[in-house]
Structures are given as structure tokens and as C-alpha cells.
């Protein structure tokens, strides 16, 4: 374990003691959100991102240790285990290198080498490989002629011995490691057109690039082009250097009788055995790293999307645009409750603009609607033009916002949507989801498979299991950082709370339905299957509005109630005062003057924990999403035809990928800000500059009218 702790500490640039303490917490069954929030003293304040990386590496390295034990056992059973081999296996920290060590001992199908061994040619192969024999090799080879075993000539004997040598060279772990290293430094990917057809991969129809410099999005694009039969892909390796390296390692004397035989054998080993497998492994390694990067990008974007600020205290009209089938409308009140639904036809082919206006104006007046959320799918911009025109005719202030509807159709047809709205048509459920996404993005988006959210690149090409695990972690972190109102949360939202699974989430809702509102956190212990262990993990993330204890609208954990109460008492207040707005401003001011170190010592609590308690009780019920950029609220529309080069616009970042960001500036298609147009300085990754949901100022630098594409720049001072 010490070796694992050191390895993880080096990789994550943290102390070994932090790794050891965190591993103990994980092994004791604590969740990552709980550790990140309530065990800062123990971990040395490691963030949830680092904790998840640590957990991932811990699983990998533990699996590696298990595989090492298995390999040592398998080699030992063959009677071939040596001290040197044991040390080599123990020192390996990469799974592919471990498998290379095991390669010579792995049971093989019948190969040229195994057939040669059956013919008794192994001793001859050793004589040739060792190169010590002075006697003519052809004379020696005569001794191995055996017609019964079909070794009829000296040449056949030497050829069989060379097959054994070729396989031994190909199985040597050190040689393979060096060859891979040479390839990673110097190999080039070449791609050619595979069929006479237009495709999104045309830039790769005659393309080459060093694999050392290839960004992950290009690797994944080439993989997809190859999979769809548009591209032929070849890895061009530094063959000369590889053969020179092998000859230098194997051939002892360039003038000996073995020189030519071994030189030819080395070439055969490389071309027939090493090259195909190394190419496969390198392509797999490249794909794996590219997938990891794509998953990271997806996770980062998804978290930003989930953490979009809610639009509170507004009655919202959800507007799901369409053409022939009509635009679906749903009205939800301030709490998310469905008030009304209808369908209107302001778009083609019906073009019933006046009828649609009349219907929607009546709904706006009836329900006192403040906000319209328009989905960004098919017919979105035509619908936006209609809404913009309509709200000019409505008295009072009313705004609209464009909302990403990725995954809304997945939700509409889901079992969950059927349970929530059994009597509502599938098509109308999408409008409900769009309205709720504006009102509370997190609560709504957790109902959808994170993969359907659509913020990332090549999400369908990456390892789906790893993607799901990563995104589940992202959703957990988002949900737990915000906290969950236990009396209004859906089972979907509750199931992401630390320590709560799907069954417990459903049991909480059932308990709530049968017994009325939950008034204090400890009441959760009455919920079936929610025991002390789950309670400890979840309690701090549960919020109870207007409950018995004002601390329970904060993130203060029940284990710290006593500390929080003593802290307030020392300042001359009580917990009840947190519910009094006038007292709260006094409390906040006094808390800002507290000497953290001294008070932590007096209260026998860690400084990090005390700081968190002070932050929480200074702003009871604070939502961390309030600090995020608010959605752009519009009242007028911009047409593609209105765009001109040099125009400066404000837009919302909808997606961040390796080569740039897509920004919604209010026209039909999102504009692209290429990475080179993001800043005056060099940036390695767009996420250094922008996140999903950011509101940015951009300048139009290119318009492709035919393809309806817009190029944007964030360097607007130039």
C-alpha cells in the first residue's frame, strides 16, 4: 500500500499522508461528496475533483496489484518464476507493461515457434541467439535434421530455430517498451480517403501528423472516420531506428557467421510479430487518452450546465418549438407545479400567427406569466421571432430566454416522466421540462441520463462505462454542493445525495407523502432502509426550509450543531436568531470579526470546519449557484441576415470543446470561437478561458451564408 500511496501522491502532487487518510475514509464507506465537504481536516482540504481522481487511481492500482499476484502465481505454476522476475513484476506500475512481462509465459495458440519447439529445434535457437559457437552453424544444424518431424534440410532446421528466436524477441518486455517509446516520440499517423464520397472527414482524406502532437479531438475524429469506412489509417513507425536498436541489442559481432541470420530474424520478428501488435497497442493507448480527455471535457461542461443559476419566483411558460406538429406549451408556477398546457401553430406549414398570439396572450394574462423559456431545437429561431413579436403586444414586463433542450425528448418518453405526468401527452412533457430547466436547471437535468445532455465532443465514441461513472460523479458533486430541499425534491434528485440510493430516495418521498413535511433532519431515520450510516453521509446535504432547527437550512452537519450553537452563544445569540432577518445581519457582522484560529481552539474544532460553519450560518439557505452567470433574458430577436462582420454581440457559451467554444448569440446556429480567437495570450485549452453557461462578448469575424455558420472572436479590442 505504501507504494500505491506514494504513486498517487506523486501523480496528484499532494502529500502521502493526505492519500493515506483519504484512502482510509473511502475504505470506511464514506462518499466523495461527504469526504470533500465534511472531512477537510482529515484530507488536508482536497477538492472533490482531486478526491475523484484519487479514488479512480486507487481502484486502478489495486486492480494492478491483484493482477500482479495472479501473474506471479501463473508463472510459478509453470516452474519459471525467478527472483529477478518477481522484482520486475512488483516494480511495474502500468498494466500494459505488466502484460508485456507476462507475454512470454502466456499460453499460446500453435505458432511457427511452438511448431519449431515441437520439432526439437529450441536448443539450436539458443546456439544461434547466444552466438558463442565457433563451429559452422550449418554443420551444427545437420544434427537437427529429423525426417520424422519434417525437418528435412539444414535450411529447414535453421528457419525453425529462427522462428523461435523471432517470437522470443517479440515477447521481450524491455524491447517492446523501448519500441513503443520510439513510436510515441517519432511515429506519424497517415490517413487516406477510403471511398469516393463527400463526408465530414474530408480534411483527413490526405493527412499526416506526428502522434506526439495530435490533440484528442483529432484522434477521435480519425477513429470515427475509419469506423465509418471513410478513412484508411496507417501508423508510420521509425522502422530504421527500431531495427538498428534491436540489432544493437542482439547482434554481438557484425562480422560473425550469425550476423546475417539474426539480422533477417530481427526484421521478420518486427514486421510479422511486433509491428502489428505494437500498432494496435499504440492506437489503443492514443484512443484511451483521447477518450479520457473527452470524458473530462464532458464532465466539466456538464457540471457548469448543472450549476446554472435558477430563475426563482417566476411563473414560466415552456415553449417547445416545432413545425408541422405545432409548438407545445406548458405553464408552471413558481414551485414547478404544472398549471396549463396547449399547442399552437405559428410556424410553417400552418403559420397561424394570430391564433397562436391570441391563445398565448390569454395564458399570460390568466397565469401572470413573467418569463418564456424557448427550446433551442427545430424551429427555435422562427419561434423566437414569433415570441419576440408577441411580447411587444403584452402589457407589463415579460422576457424570454433560449434554453438547451438536449435530452428533453429522452426525458419525455422515460418511465420517470410517465410516473410524474401519467395523464399528459409525451410531446407536452418536453415543454414542461424546458420550462423547469429555466426555473431550476439542476432539479430538472438530474432526471436525464447525463450522456443525453449534449455538452462535449464524441461522447458516443468513448468508453460508455467510464463516461457514465464520470458523469454520475459530476452530478453527485453538483447536487451535494447545492443541497436538496427534502420536502420538494423528486426521487431523481434525492438519489444523487451522498448516502442515498434509488430505493431510499423513493422511500423518503413515500414517507413524506404519508406523514406530511419532514420537520427536522433526524426524522429521516424513520425512513425505511435509511440507517445511521446513510444518515451520517446525507444529513449535511439535506435542507429543511421552515423546519424546527434553523441550522437545517444550511450545510452545517448535525455532528457540528453543538459547535455552531456554542459559537452563536459566545457571540450573544441563539440558533433561533438565524430566522430573524434583523438579528441575522448583526450575527453576520460579528462572525466576520471572529479570530478563526483562537476560536477553533476554544471550541475544539478544526479551523477548516469552523470556517465552513461560519460561512454557512452567515448566509442561511445560500445557493452557490447564485454566483454563476445568469441566463441572457431577451425581449427582441436577431436574424442571421442582420449579422455583419465587426458586429459586437453578447452570447451564452453552450459547449466547450478542445478546439474552441460554441456561443449562442441569438441566431439559428451557435457561432464558433476558435481557440486561437479566445485570448491575446497562448492558451492550451479553451476551458482556461470559458465555461458552459458563461456570458461573453464576441465580435463577428466571419459569416458563411451558404452553410449558415458564424465565426466569432473574443479578442474584441483588436
Q: State residue 43's pLDDT score.
A: 96
H or E stretch at 327: strand 327-332
Identify the CATH number of the domain in which residue 85 sits: 1.10.10.650
Residues 570-614 pLDDT 10s: 999 999 988 888 888 888 889 899 999 999 999 999 999 999 999
Same domain, 131 and 99: no
Residues 418-442 pLDDT 10s: 888 888 888 899 999 999 988 888 8
Same domain, 384 and 430: yes
Using the predicted structure, report yes or no on whether residue 405 has a pLDDT greater than 90. Answer: no
Same domain, 222 and 121: yes
Q: State residue 233's pLDDT score.
A: 95
* CA gap 214, 207 in Å, rounded: 12
DSSP-assigned letter for residue 451: G
* Of the residues 439, 455, 490, the one at which a domain ends: 439
Mean confidence (pLDDT) of the chain: 90
Q: At 622, is the pLDDT very low, low, confident or very high (cuts 50, 70, 90)?
A: confident
* CA gap 204, 217 in Å, rounded: 13
Q: State residue 74's pLDDT score.
A: 95
* CA gap 132, 110 in Å, rounded: 30
Determine what percent of the chain falls in helix, strand and coil, rounding each to the nearest 5.
Answer: 55, 10, 35
Q: State residue 631's pLDDT score.
A: 67
* Of the residues 627, 649, 670, the one at which a domain ends: 627
Give residues with Cβ within 8 angstroms of 545, minimum separation 6.
485, 487, 553, 621
Q: What is the 3-state secondary structure (H, E, C) of 144-210?
A: CCEHHHCECCHHHHHHHHHHHHHHHHHHCHHHHHHHHHHHHHHCEEEEEECCCCCCCCHHHCEEEEE
* CA gap 101, 107 in Å, rounded: 13
Structural domains of the chain, count: 5
User: Is 542 a member of any domain?
Assistant: yes
Q: 206-210 and 188-193: which strand pairing?
A: antiparallel
Identify the CATH number of the domain in which residue 623 sits: 1.10.150.310
Q: What angle is formed at CA 343 by the lines to CA 341 and CA 345, rounded to 5 degrees?
A: 155
DSSP-assigned letter for residue 630: P
Q: At 706, is the pLDDT very low, low, confident or very high (cuts 50, 70, 90)?
A: confident
* CA gap 688, 696 in Å, rounded: 14
Domain extent for 705: 640-713
Same domain, 116 and 101: no
Percent pLDDT > 90 in the chain is 58
Helix (H, G, I), strand (E, B) or coil at 405: coil
User: Is 306 a member of any domain?
Assistant: no
DSSP-assigned letter for residue 271: I
Q: At 165, is the pLDDT very low, low, confident or very high (cuts 50, 70, 90)?
A: very high
Q: At 296, is the pLDDT very low, low, confident or very high (cuts 50, 70, 90)?
A: confident
User: Is 489 a member of any domain?
Assistant: no
* CA gap 657, 457 in Å, rounded: 6
Q: What is the 3-state secondary structure (H, E, C) of 480-535?
A: HHHCEECCCCCHHHHCCCCCCCHHHHHHHHHHHHHHCCCCCHHHHHHCCCCCHHHH
Using the predicted structure, report yes or no on whether residue 641 has a pLDDT greater than 80. Answer: no
Judged by average pLDDT, the poorest of 92-101, 562-571, 635-644 is: 635-644
Q: 660-664 and 648-657: which strand pairing?
A: antiparallel
* CA gap 290, 715 in Å, rounded: 29
Same domain, 540 and 556: yes
Residues 496-526 pLDDT 10s: 999 999 999 999 999 999 999 999 999 999 9
User: How many residues are given for the chain?
Assistant: 718
Angle subtended by helix axes 380-391 and 353-367, to nearest 10: 60
User: Is 492 a member of any domain?
Assistant: no
Q: Which of 425, 155, 443, 474 is nearest to 304 (CA)?
A: 474
Using the predicted structure, report yes or no on whether residue 353 has a pLDDT greater than 70. Answer: yes
* CA gap 700, 650 in Å, rounded: 11
Identify the CATH number of the domain in which residue 671 sits: 2.40.50.140
Identify the CATH number of the domain in which residue 416 sits: 3.30.420.140
Q: State residue 633's pLDDT score.
A: 62
User: Is 88 a member of any domain?
Assistant: yes
Identify the CATH number of the domain in which residue 116 sits: 1.10.3500.10
DSSP-assigned letter for residue 309: P
- Burial degree of 193 (CB within 10 A; 0-12, 13-18, 19+): middle
Query: Taking the CB of residue 317, how many other CB atoms lie within 10 A of it?
Result: 28
Using the predicted structure, report yes or no on whether residue 669 has a pLDDT greater than 80. Answer: no
Q: Which three cell numbers stand for residue 153?
A: 534440410
User: Is 474 a member of any domain?
Assistant: no
* CA gap 649, 640 in Å, rounded: 13
Same domain, 252 and 142: yes
Give the DSSP per-residue string, 578-614.
Answer: GG-HHHHHHHHHHHTT--HHHHHHHHT--HHHHHHHH
Judged by average pLDDT, the poorest of 56-65, 97-106, 146-155 is: 146-155
Residues 110-152 pLDDT 10s: 899 999 999 999 999 999 999 988 899 999 989 988 888 888 8
CB contact at 8 A, 279 and 242: no
Same domain, 132 and 232: yes
Same domain, 622 and 708: no
Using the predicted structure, report yes or no on whether residue 637 has a pLDDT greater than 60. Answer: no
User: Is 504 a member of any domain?
Assistant: no
Same domain, 207 and 70: no
Task: Calculate mean pLDDT across residues 690-709.
Answer: 84
Using the predicted structure, report yes or no on whether residue 691 has a pLDDT greater than 80. Answer: yes
**Alpha carbon separation from 142 to 121, 145, 638 (Å, rounded):** 11, 5, 89
* Of the residues 627, 648, 669, the one at which a domain ends: 627
Q: Which three cell numbers stand for residue 229?
A: 469506412
Same domain, 543 and 579: yes
Q: Which three cell numbers stand for residue 664?
A: 449562442
Query: Taking the CB of residue 533, how many other CB atoms lie within 10 A of it?
Result: 12
* Terminal Cα-to-Cα distance of the chain (whole angstroms): 55
* CA gap 144, 146 in Å, rounded: 6
User: Is 467 a member of any domain?
Assistant: no
* CA gap 485, 554 in Å, rounded: 11
Q: At 239, is the pLDDT very low, low, confident or very high (cuts 50, 70, 90)?
A: very high
Using the predicted structure, report yes or no on whether residue 272 has a pLDDT greater than 90. Answer: yes
Same domain, 327 and 376: yes
CB contact at 8 A, 471 and 305: no
Same domain, 553 and 570: yes
Q: State residue 634's pLDDT score.
A: 61
**Alpha carbon separation from 138 to 145, 156, 559 (Å, rounded):** 11, 11, 84
In 265-321 the beta strands, taken as DSSP E runs, fall at 316-320
Task: Calculate mean pLDDT across residues 29-39.
Answer: 95
Amino acid at each position: 500500500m505504501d507504494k500505491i500511496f506514494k504513486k498517487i501522491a506523486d501523480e496528484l502532487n499532494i502529500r502521502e499522508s493526505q492519500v493515506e487518510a483519504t484512502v482510509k475514509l473511502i475504505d470506511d464507506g464514506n462518499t466523495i461528496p461527504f469526504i470533500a465537504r465534511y472531512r477537510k481536516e482529515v484530507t488536508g482540504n482536497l477538492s472533490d475533483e482531486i478526491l475523484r481522481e484519487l479514488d479512480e487511481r486507487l481502484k486502478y492500482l489495486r486492480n494492478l496489484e491483484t493482477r500482479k499476484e495472479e501473474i506471479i502465481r501463473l508463472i510459478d505454476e509453470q516452474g519459471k518464476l525467478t527472483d529477478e522476475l518477481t522484482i520486475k513484476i512488483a516494480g511495474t506500475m502500468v498494466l500494459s507493461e505488466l502484460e508485456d512481462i507476462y507475454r512470454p509465459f502466456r499460453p499460446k495458440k500453435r505458432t511457427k515457434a511452438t511448431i519449431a519447439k515441437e520439432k526439437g529445434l529450441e536448443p539450436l535457437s539458443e546456439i544461434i541467439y547466444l552466438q558463442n559457437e565457433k563451429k559452422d552453424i550449418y554443420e551444427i544444424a545437420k544434427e537437427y535434421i529429423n525426417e520424422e518431424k519434417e525437418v528435412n534440410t539444414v535450411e529447414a532446421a535453421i528457419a525453425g530455430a529462427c522462428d523461435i528466436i523471432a517470437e522470443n524477441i517479440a515477447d521481450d518486455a524491455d524491447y517492446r517498451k523501448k519500441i513503443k517509446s520510439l513510436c510515441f516520440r517519432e511515429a506519424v499517423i497517415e490517413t487516406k480517403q477510403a471511398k469516393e464520397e463527400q463526408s465530414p472527414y474530408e480534411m483527413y482524406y490526405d493527412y499526416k501528423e506526428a502522434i506526439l502532437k495530435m490533440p484528442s479531438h483529432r484522434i477521435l475524429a480519425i477513429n470515427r472516420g475509419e469506423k465509418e469506412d471513410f478513412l484508411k489509417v496507417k501508423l508510420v513507425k521509425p522502422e530504421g531506428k527500431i531495427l538498428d536498436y534491436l540489432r544493437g541489442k542482439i547482434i554481438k559481432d557484425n562480422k560473425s557467421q550469425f550476423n546475417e541470420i539474426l539480422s533477417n530474424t530481427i526484421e521478420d520478428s518486427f514486421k510479422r510479430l511486433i509491428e502489428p501488435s505494437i500498432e494496435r497497442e499504440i492506437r489503443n493507448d492514443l484512443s484511451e487518452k483521447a477518450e479520457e480527455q473527452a470524458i473530462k471535457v464532458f464532465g466539466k461542461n456538464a457540471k457548469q450546465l448543472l450549476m446554472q443559476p435558477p430563475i426563482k419566483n417566476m411563473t414560466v411558460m415552456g415553449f417547445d418549438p416545432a413545425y408541422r406538429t405545432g409548438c407545445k406549451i406548458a405553464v408552471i408556477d413558481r414551485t414547478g407545479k404544472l398549471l396549463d398546457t396547449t399547442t399552437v401553430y405559428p410556424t410553417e406549414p400552418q403559420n397561424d400567427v394570430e391564433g397562436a398570439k391570441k391563445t398565448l396572450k390569454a395564458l399570460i394574462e390568466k397565469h401572470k406569466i413573467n418569463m418564456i423559456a424557448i427550446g433551442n431545437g427545430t424551429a427555435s429561431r422562427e419561434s423566437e421571432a414569433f415570441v419576440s413579436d408577441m411580447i411587444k403586444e403584452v402589457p407589463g414586463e415579460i422576457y424570454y430566454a433560449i434554453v438547451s433542450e438536449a435530452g428533453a425528448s429522452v426525458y419525455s418518453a422515460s418511465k420517470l416522466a410517465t410516473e410524474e405526468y401519467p395523464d399528459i401527452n409525451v410531446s407536452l412533457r418536453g415543454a414542461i421540462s424546458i420550462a423547469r430547466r429555466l426555473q431550476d436547471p439542476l432539479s430538472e437535468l438530474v432526471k436525464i441520463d447525463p450522456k443525453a445532455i449534449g455538452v462535449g465532443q464524441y461522447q458516443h465514441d468513448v468508453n460508455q462505462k467510464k463516461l457514465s461513472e464520470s458523469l454520475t460523479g459530476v452530478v453527485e458533486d453538483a447536487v451535494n454542493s447545492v443541497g436538496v430541499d427534502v420536502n420538494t425534491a423528486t426521487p431523481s434528485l434525492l438519489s444523487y445525495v451522498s448516502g442515498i440510493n434509488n430505493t431510499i430516495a423513493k422511500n423518503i418521498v413515500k414517507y413524506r407523502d404519508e406523514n406530511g413535511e419532514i420537520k427536522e433532519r433526524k426524522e429521516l431515520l424513520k425512513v425505511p432502509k435509511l440507517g445511521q450510516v446513510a444518515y451520517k453521509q446525507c444529513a449535511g446535504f439535506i435542507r429543511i426550509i421552515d423546519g424546527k432547527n434553523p441550522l437545517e437550512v444550511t450545510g452545517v452537519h448535525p455532528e457540528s450543531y453543538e459547535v455552531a450553537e456554542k459559537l452563536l452563544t459566545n457571540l450573544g445569540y441563539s440558533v433561533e436568531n438565524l430566522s430573524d432577518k434583523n438579528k441575522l445581519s448583526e450575527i453576520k457582522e460579528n462572525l466576520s470579526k471572529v479570530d478563526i484560529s483562537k476560536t477553533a481552539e476554544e471550541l475544539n474544532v478544526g479551523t477548516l470546519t469552523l470556517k465552513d460553519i461560519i460561512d454557512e450560518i452567515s448566509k442561511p439557505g445560500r445557493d452557490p449557484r447564485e454566483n454563476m452567470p445568469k441566463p441572457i433574458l431577451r425581449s427582441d430577436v436577431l436574424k442571421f441576415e442582420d449579422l455583419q462582420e465587426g458586429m459586437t454581440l453578447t452570447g451564452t457559451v453552450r459547449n466547450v470543446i478542445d478546439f474552441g467554444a460554441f456561443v449562442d448569440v441569438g441566431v439559428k446556429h451557435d457561432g464558433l470561437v476558435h481557440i486561437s480567437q479566445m485570448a491575446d495570450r497562448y492558451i492550451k485549452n479553451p476551458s482556461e478561458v470559458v465555461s458552459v453557461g458563461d456570458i461573453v462578448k464576441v465580435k463577428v469575424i466571419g459569416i458563411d451564408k451558404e452553410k449558415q455558420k458564424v465565426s466569432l472572436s473574443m479578442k474584441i479590442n483588436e
